[in-house]
Structures are given as C-alpha cells and as structure tokens.
Amino acid sequence: MAATGAAGEKGPIVAPADDDLVLPFATEISGARGRIVRMGTTVDTILARHGYPDLVSEAVAHALALTTMLGAPIAPGARLSLQTRTDGPLGFLFVEYQAPGKVRATASYAKERVAELAARQARLSEGELLGHGHMALTLDPGDGRDVTQGIVALDGGSLTAAANTYFRQSEQLPSYIRLAVARHQVAGASRGDGRDGSLCARAWTWRAGGLMVQHPGAREDEGEGRDGRQAGEASEDWQRVRLLAATVEDHELLDPQLSPRRLLLRLFHEEGVRVFEPRSIACHCRCSRERVAMFLSSFSAENLEGMSEPDGTYSVTCEFCSTVYRFAPDEVSRGE
C-alpha cells in the first residue's frame, strides 16, 4: 500500500480494523519500551471541524499523534499539553491529551503566508511551517500536585526532532520517535473537499500514526544500568532496537488493514515483543454552555456592549471544537 504526503491520493480503503488507540509494548531481549499510536476517526473529526488548509492540518495531526503517544501513560484525570509559539506561518499550536484517551486541538496561522507556501506546489517541511520559537510540554497531574513544564527550542525543525531533544536533554532517556500523516480515500464515499465538516460526504479522510521506542537501561554513561547490566551492553541493545524501529515505513504506521500488533511483530520479531492493554482515543472538548456563560459574565457591561451582535445577542465559537453558543441579552449576566 503506497503512502504520500498530506495531500497525497491513494486507492480506496475499507473500514479500519484496529484504529484510534495507543498500544504499549516492550521488547524481550533488549528491554526497550514503547508505544504505537493509530488515529483515524479521531484526527479526521478534529481537523474537519476546523477546516484548516492541508499544510496546517498535517502539522496539527502530527502534534495530535505525538501528544497522544507521550501522554498515554499518565494517570486518569491528568492532562498533558503540547504548545508551540513561533515566528512561522503556523504561529501557535495547542494539543491536549486528558487521560484516559481524550484529545483536543487548536491552531492559529497566518492565512496569507500559508496560502503563499501552498501555492509553491513544492513539498514543505514542518520546520518551515513552524519557524523559530519554542515547544512546551506541560503536565498537570490533576490531583493537587504541582504542574510541571519542559521547554524545547524550535529552530526550523520538526516536532519529532524537538521531542527527541527534550528526552535527550531533560530526561537523559534514549528515544526514537517516528510520526506519519496522510489522507486516505474512503471506499464508497462521494467526492468532496469536506470543508462543510460532514464526514459522510467526504471521499478523503485524515489519518495519523506514530511509533515511540525508549530504553531506560541505556541512560547511564558508565557503570551498571538500571536493570543491573553494564551500560555498554544496554547501549548495544538500544542501538539494535533503534535500528529495527527505524525500518518502519510511513504507510505501515497508517495502514488501517495492518494492525499495530502485526506491525510490532514485523518490526521486532527477532527481539520478541510483548504488548499490553491498548488505550482508546476519542476527540473530546471541555466546553459547555455553562462554561461559556461564565466566561461572558467575567466581562464588564461596557465590554459586553462591544461584543454583541447587531440584534443584541451574543455569539461565542469554541476554538477547539467550533461549536457555536448563542445567548439572548437576558441570558448574560454583566460583570462589574
């Protein structure tokens, strides 16, 4: 099954067999641990609600797969967010993973600059779209403990490169991360660009996938590793499993007919691989009419006057799920 870029075209596919999940695993011989993420309906629904240009959609999909893969182990109720602020055409990107398995995303971009880049009709790197700035990974345990944050510079590189830098510098943990994003044609669907957000009317749907492998035992520079083996042996194990992981192809990470379990066996059959309980993923937004009403009530009467529609009503669109909330004048309490 061939794979192309974000706007690439493929032959029709049938319904996914194993989708919208994170599958943790461990290799038997080398002692590495990792996760595979496979996103179909979840990523497509989020992107359809926003109607971003393809270049932006691809970057958001990468961020969704990465954040989900990083956040999968956190405790229920905890939240991990990935946020970028840069000088590039895609100046702001925010993705949140709330355990167990709820994701949401939003982005802000310069429409004219993105349109100019798209008009070049040349392959654009994610680094060019993001530009220079920083990526922040923020963990909120949600149980009263302190929020922690790690910040990595973005210097014209990809989110994958930034995440690898984070683990190398902040965690001293050898890591390999691979992400893939593409659009697939849905069998039997009618042609259309999907800008109206209707899933059933669109022939092309977004998919995202990722593979992450880490080796805790190889973090020591000398002496015994954490598992009792000499660091040199742990390092050799890591190099071997990393080379095996690097053989994965983009289409393998995205193919709905190739289950994550089969892919792991294909990659690490020489090592022996154990899989653990998969974790489901679904798009979820925390907005509600009550929350929006509370937000409006925080504004003074003077500020509210400038926010009203010509008929006196108030309209607020959620930046994450694009739901529009409308309020009559008497439904909004005015702050002091």
Residues in the chain, total: 336
Q: Do 249 and 279 fall into the same domain?
A: yes
What residue spans of the chain are helical by DSSP H? 41-50, 54-71, 111-119, 126-130, 159-169, 231-245, 250-254, 260-268, 289-297, 301-305
Q: Do 208 and 321 fall into the same domain?
A: no
Closest CA to 36 of 45, 28, 27: 27
Q: Do 270 and 294 fall into the same domain?
A: no
pLDDT of residue 122: 65
Q: With respect to residue 2, please indicate whether it lies within any of the assigned structural domains.
A: no
pLDDT of residue 168: 85
Name residue, tokens 């209707």: 198
What is the distance between the alpha carbons of residues 37 and 179, in angstroms, rounded to a whole number? 9
Q: Do 299 and 197 fall into the same domain?
A: no
Q: Do 242 and 294 fall into the same domain?
A: no
Dihedral of alpha carbons 103, 106, 107, 112, sign: positive
Q: What CA–CA distances, in Å, run from 109 to 29, 54, 231?
A: 46, 12, 45
DSSP 137-174: EEEE-SSSSPPEEEEEEEES--HHHHHHHHHHHTS---
- Residues of the domain holding 99: 12-283
What is the distance between the alpha carbons of residues 100 and 18, in angstroms, rounded to a whole number? 18
Residue 118's Cβ-count burial label (10 Å; 0-12, 13-18, 19+) is middle
Taking only the tens of pLDDT, the chain with its 336 residues reads 333 333 333 333 344 558 999 999 999 999 999 999 999 999 999 999 999 999 999 999 999 999 999 999 999 999 999 999 999 999 999 999 999 999 999 999 999 999 988 887 667 789 999 999 999 999 999 888 999 999 999 999 999 999 999 988 887 888 999 999 999 887 655 544 444 444 444 578 999 999 999 988 765 444 444 444 445 567 899 999 999 999 999 999 999 999 999 999 999 999 999 999 999 999 999 999 999 998 898 888 888 878 888 888 999 999 999 999 999 988 887 654
pLDDT of residue 193: 47
Count of domains in the chain? 2
Q: Do 228 and 307 fall into the same domain?
A: no
Start-to-end CA span in the chain (Å) = 61
Task: Tell me whether strands 102-108 and 282-283 are parallel, antiparallel or unpaired.
Answer: parallel
What is the distance between the alpha carbons of residues 308 and 261, in angstroms, rounded to a whole number? 53
Q: Do 237 and 166 fall into the same domain?
A: yes
Identify whether 100 is preceded by a cis peptide bond (ω within 30 of 0): yes
Indicate the SS3 state at residue 290.
helix
Q: Do 253 and 298 fall into the same domain?
A: no
pLDDT of residue 232: 55
CATH number for the domain including 124? 3.55.30.10
Q: With respect to residue 4, please indicate whether it lies within any of the assigned structural domains.
A: no
Q: Do 244 and 163 fall into the same domain?
A: yes
Q: With respect to residue 57, please indicate whether it lies within any of the assigned structural domains.
A: yes
pLDDT of residue 292: 92
Q: Do 165 and 300 fall into the same domain?
A: no
Q: Do 169 and 127 fall into the same domain?
A: yes
Q: Which residues are within 8 A (CB) of 188 and not within 5 positions of it... i.e. 6 or more apart? A: 12
Q: Do 76 and 154 fall into the same domain?
A: yes
